[in-house]
Amino acid sequence: MLLNKKLTLPANEPRIDLLVQRLTEVTRSELRGLFDHACVRLDGHVCAQPNATGRAGQTLEVTWEAGRRYKEKPKERTNRDFIIAFEDKFLIVVNKRAGVLTVPTDRKEDDTLVHAVARHFSRGERITHRAWIVHRLDRDTSGLLVFARTEEIAAAIKDQFEARKPEREYIVLVAGRVPNDAGTIRSHLMTNDDLDQYSTNVPGEGKLAITHYKVLERLRGATLLQVNLETGRRNQIRVHFAERGHPVLGDVRYRPELARHPAWHEKRLALHARTLGFKHPVTGQAIRLIAETPVCFAAFVRAAR
């Protein structure tokens, strides 16, 4: 018999796993199995992380079969370049560490993320199964990326990106105090001879780039932002905020003279792709994943308050 229970999250924003256990009364091992088997949804999106927290008013839904034992899947495998956030026989979502190239440059590097994922698919150092790239992150940016196991699956997910359907949320630290609590930056981006991106006012030129942002906290000499991309142009977040005098901390390319802060000691961009949501191209399942913000962000916020 299929069981289904729902509740509205209370104001104290408890951990999702504790609420699920309260609803289902399963063991801790079986509880993790419910998350692993996509039985838990938050506002209609699959919630795959037991330690996630929700917001007051969100709807938590658990659907499971009575009497079935939902076994916990093996722990996610890791390597030096990424952590697996989601994987099935069609695609994989990974949490990339900062400092790793997504794809090779003109130098034809062979130690990029796409190589690492291909080795994972091939289950060995010798690459026998290609990883198909869907989108990219800058070398010094961390966070969630999706790769496909076939060209057809990659094309289907790319179509969603072209239609601006996926949810892409970033956590960003920028220089200075951003004055507005929220806003949208819209421009057309072009590439100059040095391969830098910039906004153009010339009608009909450049590619439309739309960035939505919300201030999470204003700090001494910096601002913590939540940024949502409507489009995903190369260096979009970096360019949009640098052009407004608030470059991403640690950026050595766009307004580097402003991108320094005495409390930011990391040799990386203060830019993290935290949330990725999209529709599974085969199953139709709504997938929404959250990559925990790197600890260096929290350390900076404490130091700059």
pTM (2 d.p.): 0.75
Q: How confident is the model at residue 79 (pLDDT cuts 50, 70, 90)?
A: low
Cβ neighbour number for residue 272 with a 10 Å cutoff = 26
Cβ-Cβ contacts under 8 Å for 23 (sequence gap 6 or more): 5, 7, 60, 62
* pLDDT reading at 56 higher than 70: yes
Residue 47, pLDDT score: 87
* pLDDT reading at 67 higher than 90: no
Domain coordinates of the chain in residue numbers? 2-65, 82-165, 168-273+299-304
Q: How confident is the model at residue 119 (pLDDT cuts 50, 70, 90)?
A: very high
Query: Average pLDDT in the 62-66 region?
Result: 91
For the chain, how many residues are written? 305
Residue 222, pLDDT score: 98
Q: Determine whether 88 is an active site residue.
A: no
Place of tokens 């956590």: 171
Q: Which of 138, 193, 196, 251 is the catalytic position?
A: 138
Nearest partner of 92 among 131, 130, 50, 37, judged by Cα: 131
For the chain, the first-to-last Cα distance in angstroms comes to 53
Radius of gyration (C-alpha) of the chain in whole angstroms: 20
Residue 14, pLDDT score: 66
Answer yes or no: same fold for 82-165 and 168-273+299-304. yes
Query: Average pLDDT in the 60-84 region?
Result: 80
CATH class as words, domain 2-65: alpha beta
From the number of C-beta atoms within 10 Å of its C-beta (0-12, 13-18, 19+), residue 159 rates as exposed
Average pLDDT, rounded, for the chain = 93
Distances (CA, A) of 160 to 84, 140, 156, 273: 22, 25, 7, 18
Residue 107, pLDDT score: 86
Higher pLDDT, 76 or 245: 245
Higher pLDDT, 69 or 293: 293
What is the per-residue pLDDT across 178-194, written as a single tens digit (0 to 9) for each? 999 999 999 999 999 98
What is the per-residue pLDDT across 258-302, written as a single tens digit (0 to 9) for each? 999 999 999 999 999 999 999 999 999 999 999 999 999 999 999
Fold of domain 82-165: Pseudouridine synthase (3.30.2350)
- Measured distance CA(248)–CA(303) in Å, rounded: 17
Residue 36, pLDDT score: 87
Cβ-Cβ contacts under 8 Å for 14 (sequence gap 6 or more): 53, 54
CATH number 3.40.30.10 is the correct assignment for the domain at 168-273+299-304: no
Residue 81, pLDDT score: 87
